[in-house]
Structures are given as C-alpha cells and as structure tokens.
Amino acid sequence: MSTPPQAPASGQAAHEEPLPRYPFSTRGDRLAPELDELRGRCPVARVNTNSGEQAWLVTGYELARQVLRDRSFARSVLGEADRPTQDAPILAPELLDAMNHLQQAGLRDEVLKALGRDQPDLPADWVAEVTAEGLDTMVRDGSPGDLQRHFADWVAAQCMCRLLGLPFADRDWLAVRADLDLTMVTPTPEELARNWEEIRAYMDAHMSDRRPGEPRGLIDRLADLNATHEGLTRHQLSNIVAVLFVSGYEDFASFLGVAAYNLLQRPEVMSAVRAEPETMPQCVEELLRCSVVLGNAIPRFVTKDAEIGPAQVKEGEMILLSLDAVNYDSAAFPDPKSFTPARTPNPHLRFGYGRHHCPGAHLVRRQSEVAFRVLLDRLPGIRLAVPPAEVPWHPNRMAIMPAEVPVTW
C-alpha cells in the first residue's frame, strides 16, 4: 500500500512525494474514490489546492464537526489580504463573510426571516405552479427532455428571483455570470473580477431603481433598511446581495440536478414516495446526505496552533472540509453508500454544523420537497434517457452540476 499524505507535520520536505491536488473530481455521479481512500487511511491530509497553495483536507465526520464548532478555525479572516486561498483570490471581505457583515449592519434578521421556516416570499402553491410550468414546457418540447434545464435550473432561478425581487426575464443573463463566478481553474482572475463587477453593478442599479417603501423583494427591503442604518456602503451591499443570488441559485440548482440524477436511478424509491408523499422530507434528507455537490471544499483558517486528530496544524494554515466525504463516513452513517430514505437519525453535515449552519437550509429543504413531489406526480413514468454514465457534467464547478439530465417519460 502506498504511503498516505503525511498528517503529523505541517511542513513538506523536498524529497517527499508530491502532494495530491484537490479537488479530485468535479463530477457528481459518485464520491471521488480518493476521498474514500483518504478517510480510511488519513482523514486529515495535506493537499495542494487550485491556487497552488497547501492545505489540510478533512474527510472524517467527527473531525469535521470539531473544526466547525471550534472558534480557533475561522472563516471570515480568509477574506483578508495575504490569506491562503483555495481557488481565485477573494475580491472583498464581505463576499466570504456576508452574514457577519449583515449582522453588524443590523440587516441579518431580515435575511433570516426571508430564508426561515415560513419563507413568506415563496408560498408552496406558487413553487408547485412554477415547477409544473417548467415540466410542462419540457413535455411540449418533446422527448428526450433536459431535467437540469426545465427542473433544476428553472426552479432555482424562479425561487431566487422571486425571493430577491429580481425580474425573471433577466435569469439567463444572471445565470451565465453566476456559472462563470463558480467555475474553477479555467477563468483567469482578471476574467473573474470583470464578471463579478458586472453582477455587482447590476445589483447596484436594481437597488437604485427601487421605490422606497414599496419593496419588490428581499434586496429592496435590505436597501431600505440600510438607508436608515447606513451600516454598509453601497458597494458592500451590492456585493452582498450579489452573493445571495449567486450562492443561492448555484447551490440550489446544483442540488436539484444531482439529486434528480440520483433519484432517477431508483424507481423503487420514486414509487414508494409517490405512494406515501408524507415520506418526501426523509427522502430529501437522504438526497442531501448522499448527493455529491461540492466541487471544492468548505475553507477554514487556523488562528492558533491546534490538533485535528493526528495532525498538528499551525497558525496561518488553511483547512478544507469535504462535506461530501464526511457524509459518507461509516462511523456516522451505517452502510453509507446505500440510499436509505428511512435513515434515522440522519445527522448529515450538508448545511454545516452548530453556529456554522447555512442560512439557506430551510429554503433548500422546503422547496425541494415541493419540487420533487410535483415531479413525481406530474411525470410518473420519468426515467433517464441515457445510461447514468453518459450523463455529462460541467467541468471545474464549485457547485457540481450536470450539463444536462436527459429524460424520457
């Protein structure tokens, strides 16, 4: 057996074999086998990143929870100058630390209200209607259809545009730029910076066109509140609302697409959930656990020397958490490669852990349940139109996404 990447020491001698480069894959059809191997042999391993810097990659469940709950492993400082980077440089601190900036400006509660359990901007009946509309368009266009386009991208764009108050007519313009922003390796830093400025300027113009007191959505409500508190500059707020769209749309479209790909390979699960629709929440939880959607990893910065399992990590180093890998850890999930909708408990870390919990978790859970119910009811005979191995994937995406999901019905 080959020697695993070294865990006990943070340095690397010149004579040692080269570190593996992470990420190992940006396909969502399976967990990269390198992640399974590392978790078994060396769950805290040194890797090289896309930026050329080194980092510690964590693939074990309990070790990931340790990092997420320990305040000595910070996220916000990675947005500062001269910090290690996973991919392209961070253009502004608020892009990596949006929720803390919103909290300091007195705007965080408004965002949490919009994304919380009730989601007043996204009533379930409306989500069901737009989901059906996308599927009906696919059916009219004829078989085979593309479920990524007419279901995953469509539902994610509809939800984020309505939530934020953006015109849905602009969805294609926005989606192209959101896709580029979350593409690794291929674009130059200059291309990424120009692309982001176009998104930010669009959001700034959208806020400038609002009528105070007549909000079209969350963006206008934040702009109205900020006009009173002045906790954020205009540039900061336009950056943050751009992050809300890009991260919300990309992550949701990614999950819906990969989850649909997984579900379509399990007709017995689709039949069971269709017969007992009350089990859909549990099915979505298992899809959240087993869907491989992270093209990169969740980064943390070591603020003081510490131990993570067998590894001695030093102040100034970067930690990468592969939440896809930890959700396949057999120490936390018996028979982790088995798709088990009735899995209880199902303490997956898809949305983080403890104080580091994704604010969009309720939105993804609730709207995915609605969307998948409509999909199964509307198209009871839906199935992949090609073998699973022939489904294409976008390369180098931070949010892993099928290029298309060909289906027939």
- In this predicted model, what pLDDT tens digit does every residue of 284-320 receive, in sequence order? 999 999 999 999 999 999 999 999 999 999 999 999 9
pLDDT of residue 76: 84
Radius of gyration of the chain (CA): 21
Can you give 44-113 as a three-state secondary structure string? EEEEECCCCCEEEEECCHHHHHHHHHCCCEECHHHHCCCCCCCCCCCCCHHHHCHHHHHHHCCCHHHHHH
* pLDDT beyond 80 at 11: no
3-state helix, strand, coil in the chain (%, to 5): 50, 10, 40
pLDDT of residue 89: 81
CA distance 253 to 184: 17
Mean pLDDT of 28-49: 97
Mean pLDDT of 95-104: 92
Mean pLDDT of 197-217: 97
Residue 361, helix vs strand vs coil: helix
Strands 352-353 and 54-58: unpaired
Identity at 57, one-letter amino acid code: L
Mean pLDDT of 372-396: 98
Mean pLDDT of 1-23: 59
Residue 167 CA, distance from chain mean position: 23
Q: Is the pTM of this model over 0.75?
A: yes
Mind listing the domains of the chain with CATH numbers? Answer: 33-398 (1.10.630.10)
Any idea which residue has 């693939």 for tokens? 59
Residue 366, helix vs strand vs coil: helix
Confidence class for position 77, pLDDT limits 50, 70, 90: confident
CA distance 150 to 127: 14
CA distance 104 to 232: 9
Confidence class for position 15, pLDDT limits 50, 70, 90: very low
Confidence class for position 90, pLDDT limits 50, 70, 90: confident
Mean pLDDT of 321-325: 98
Lowest average pLDDT, out of 226-230, 251-255, 355-359, goes to 355-359
For residue 183, the 8-state DSSP code is B
CA distance 117 to 366: 8
Confidence class for position 14, pLDDT limits 50, 70, 90: very low
pLDDT of residue 232: 97
Mean pLDDT of 162-177: 98
pLDDT of residue 229: 83
CA distance 242 to 218: 12
